[in-house]
Amino acid sequence: MTVEREVVIKNKEGLHFRPIMQFVETAQKFTARILVRCEDREADGRSPMELLMLVATQGTVVRLFADGDDATLAVETLVALVETGFGEV
């Protein structure tokens, strides 16, 4: 099953190294394949370098995709993490 959701990057510094590592650590808890899309760029949700290349600044809309048995829980958890501003808002 594939699940997708849009979420807005809220923290002032956008997706920089610290929130990216929080995202990756959270994504690794799930078996689902996780992708993040930002405009015309796509990143593996478990790859810090690919996520950094998204250049997702504050206010950027990203789309999260998960495919697998725990896809719904993975997307819900990652959306909640992004919506909290990674504890930086």
Catalytic residue positions, numbered = 16
DSSP secondary structure letters along 21-87: HHHHHHHTT-SSEEEEEETTEEEETT-HHHHHTT---TT-EEEEEEESTTHHHHHHHHHHHHHTGGG
